[in-house]
Amino acid sequence: MKDSSANDSKKPIKEHGTTSSYVAGFVLSLIFTIIPYYLVINHKFSTSALISTIISFGIAQMIVQVVFFLHLGRGPKPFYNIVFFFATVGLIVVVIGGSVFIMNNLHYNMTPSEASKHLAEKEAIYQVEGTLTGACQKILANHVVTISGGKVTPHHTDARLCDTLTFINQDSRVSIITFGPHPRHETYSGESELTVKKGKNKTITLNQSGMYQYHDHLDPTIAGDFIVTK
């Protein structure tokens, strides 16, 4: 009498998925594609949070692809396949992470004029070898803009060059202050956006003269402007 269990153990492992698994993978792929697209189109988060969200969905998308379509772990040697896969992913992460670190370091040391001015202001570098950097030699008056109840007070601010402007958020929600009229974003004093949380004030140095607008990236109705004179 033949041992049926012995025969079963010799059966090859099924490497292909079922129709339901393919459909589930396809639906998940659509979901993990549509959600980040919607978030990007509607500007739901700040730049850094949006990048982190996109990367997270990208990782989730990758997992769906290798599990539902590439059938990782269903081969004759699933353990080795998984080990080699994650070793490859780890190598890719190291290479990409190192590349981003190098590019960020190069950007820090070889910045364009606007970013260089912001860096000089941040480090209080008024001049370099007799050449003015555009940063303020000393800080003058401070002006305060308060965000409360979905409104900014005051709506308009008159200031002089080398004054400072402080944004204070009294609402529970986070405000992402960006410069320029909505939906166009501009850069002021090297700053493209300011994340202002409740109890976490943000201050910028007014080192560029002219009239400027600002608004909340998450709620464009929260907006104001300021004029900087010499």
Per-residue pLDDT of the chain (230 residues; tens, 9 = 90+): 445 544 554 555 555 668 888 898 899 999 999 998 888 887 777 777 888 888 888 888 888 888 788 776 665 666 677 777 778 778 888 888 888 788 777 665 555 555 555 555 565 555 555 555 556 778 789 999 999 998 999 999 999 988 989 999 999 888 999 999 888 888 887 788 888 988 888 888 888 889 999 999 888 899 999 999 98
Residue 91 domain flag: yes
Q: Cα–Cα distance between 30 and 21 in angstroms, integer?
A: 14
Q: How many CB atoms lie within 10 A of CB 17?
A: 17
pTM for the structure as a whole: 0.56
Residue 127 domain flag: no
Strands (E) across the chain are located at 127-128, 131-132, 142-148, 151-153, 156-160, 164-169, 175-179, 193-196, 202-205, 210-216, 223-229
Residue after which a domain boundary falls, among 52, 87, 109: 109
Give residue 73's domain range.
12-109
> Do 149 and 211 sit in the same domain of this protein?
yes
Q: Cα–Cα distance between 69 and 166 in angstroms, integer?
A: 52
Q: How many domains does the chain have?
A: 2
Looking at residue 224, what is its pLDDT? 95
φ, ψ of residue 147 to 5 degrees: the values are -105, 115
* Tokens 């890719």 belong to residue: 92
